[in-house]
Amino acid sequence: MAKQIPDIVIGRLPVYLRALVQMGQEGRQVTSSQELGERLGISAAQIRKDLSQFGEFGKQGTGYNIEFLSKQLSEILKVNRVWDVAIVGAGDIGRALAGYSGFSERGFRIAMIFDNKPELVGSEAAGFMIKDGRQLRDEIAAAGIKIAMIAVPATQAQDVVNQLVEAGVRAILSYAPVHLSVPAGVRVQNIDPSIHLQRMTYYLE
Amino acid sequence: MAKQIPDIVIGRLPVYLRALVQMGQEGRQVTSSQELGERLGISAAQIRKDLSQFGEFGKQGTGYNIEFLSKQLSEILKVNRVWDVAIVGAGDIGRALAGYSGFSERGFRIAMIFDNKPELVGSEAAGFMIKDGRQLRDEIAAAGIKIAMIAVPATQAQDVVNQLVEAGVRAILSYAPVHLSVPAGVRVQNIDPSIHLQRMTYYLE
DNA sequence: TAGATTGTTAATCGATTAACAATC
DNA sequence: TAGATTGTTAATCGATTAACAATC
């Protein structure tokens, strides 16, 4: 069995990757754990430790080749390929996600979008024809889609998640303001702006 | 100086609060650390430990009164009041945030929205007149706004943040896919769907 | 060679869990 | 009273940091 990598380390890798890609776009060739750390507000030791879980990517005295390390991280995170993603919910958030251009260069492609409102089904959102939510399970299973983003009301979210899991989805990014239960082997990330804001108000006067 | 509470504990309180409010809406009066923990996938011991940082809110043998604990948590998190929030960026995401109805019952009120595109300034988004981004600093300072959400391109985000900080903003929820630097005393939360997805692809086949 | 920076070890620091007396 | 559950302590577990030999 492969060495177990802490999830908290996995969680930092996309942040490293984003910063490295940005540095590359700035025309930089090489960086160091110190520079990257200063840029991200993370200690240099932590960056080196995190990376060392996966191999040796740097050169003593020199640092890290930005393009090489970016490629390595993309591979580790399995975003050196394109993942099809389904969106469930074609309200404001679902549509914003469908139209967001930032996914393609980071390993994702919006493949389909669902809603269960009859007046929305068949209409268009960001160039996609909105599909009937009742077909969700069959369509996603048939397409072999493993990743979904859901932007449905809190009351419907758990039901949608259950269907997604049945359809074979294994990674869910939820914008619904509710805790979701999933079986082992399925991962959920939650985005709830109110929660994020409430994490900060504690520190305000 | 008051006892220092770990930020990771603060981060869980909004999740507890959200679940408690939901339980209350389901007509429940009382819960226990065990029940809440099962619902959220958190250990009962951790919930008790977290709450004990702030006081004694439960009754042995009985558990926690849901309404009472909700009120206490709202107070701790300072969301037993209404915070004015400014939105910067009136693209799809900014508009979705402006129109989101979920803020009001959780302590927030959208007060104004800015964009720097001349063709957007003066037009309407979710009932708000879009203000000129050049007025951002003065308007936010004049209104005494402490919280902002930004949904601008990555290239502009740091500049916007600098202006917000100058204007007196102390909590920023950013949807821009870039790391932001802020002085001590200012808090930032980041939402980047690609980052969230990339945290999960590692675990996919 | 001299200077810089990695990868790794050991030490420190912090968070989580288990267990239980107190008590409703 | 008997059963349940809290708040808290101590033990365990895990993550971060400091330090440095190796080496480019």
pLDDT digits (tens, 9 = 90+) for A15-24: 999 999 999 9
pLDDT at A3: 62
SS3 B81: coil
A99-122 pLDDT, tens digit each: 999 999 999 999 999 999 999 999
From its phi and psi, is residue A55 left (phi > 0), alpha (psi between -120 and 50) or beta? Answer: left
Span A44-80, pLDDT tens digits:
999 999 999 999 999 999 999 999 999 999 999 999 9
Q: Is residue B1 scored above 90 in pLDDT?
A: no
- Answer whether A20's CB lies under 8 Å from A70's CB: yes
Angle in degrees, 0-180, between the axes of helices B33-40 and B7-25, rounded to the nearest 10:
100
Residue A1 banded pLDDT, cuts 50, 70, 90: very low
Mean of pLDDT over chain B: 97
Q: Where are chain B's structural domains?
A: 7-76, 83-196
How high is the pLDDT of residue B2?
52
Mean pLDDT of B115-122: 98
Task: Give me the mean pLDDT over the B26-32 stretch.
Answer: 98
Q: How far apart are CA A83 and CA A143, in angstroms?
A: 11
Task: Tell me the pairing of strands B147-150 and B83-88.
Answer: parallel
CATH of domain B83-196: 3.40.50.720
Q: Which residues 10-69 of A are in CB contact (within 8 Å) with B?
A: 10-11, 13-15, 17-19, 22, 39-41
Across the interface, do A107 and B14 touch by the CB < 8 Å criterion? no
Tokens of B133: 């981004």
Pick from A75, A77, A74, A87: nearest CA to A172: A87
List Cα–Cα distances, B164 to A1, A66, A154, B134, in angstroms: 49, 32, 32, 12
Task: Please check whether residue B95 is in contact with residue B67, taking contact to mean a CB–CB distance below 8 angstroms.
Answer: no
> Is-above-0.85 flag for pTM?
yes
In tens, the pLDDT along A170-195 reads 999 999 999 999 999 999 999 999 99
Is a pLDDT exceeding 60 seen at residue A123?
Answer: yes
Query: Within 10 Å of residue B22's Cβ, how many Cβ atoms?
Result: 16
The answer to whether domain B7-76 and domain B83-196 are alike in fold is: no
Local structure of residue B4 (DSSP, 8 states): P
Domain with residues B7-76, CATH architecture: Orthogonal Bundle (1.10)
The answer to whether A30 CB is within 7 Å of strand D is no
Chain A residues whose beta carbon lies within 8 Å of the beta carbon of residue B103:
193-194, 197
pLDDT at B108: 98
